[in-house]
Amino acid sequence: MKTWNVDCEGRFLGTVDEQSEELARCAALSKFALTAEEADALDEKGLPILGIAPDWDFSVTPA
């Protein structure tokens, strides 16, 4: 099991533990995904969107 860093839109979101990059991407979505409504609500309040909104690019890299 490896630890992977998750970054989205230039922000570090946290880590996930998985065996491969493909599984780490799935785990990252499971842990950090936001609905469009959640992302819009945060944006409207002027709060940072700390998650993976729909259609946003994100990456996982070995920690």
Q: What is the model's pLDDT at position 1?
A: 95
Q: What is the model's pLDDT at position 47?
A: 94
Q: How far apart are CA 6 and CA 15, in angstroms?
A: 6
Interval 30-57: pLDDT, tens: 999 999 999 999 999 999 999 999 999 9
**0.75 cut: is pTM over it?**
yes
Q: Is 46 exposed, middle or buried (0-12, 13-18, 19+ CB in 10 A)?
A: exposed
Domain boundaries, the chain: 2-58
Nearest to 51 by CA among 8, 22, 10, 15: 8
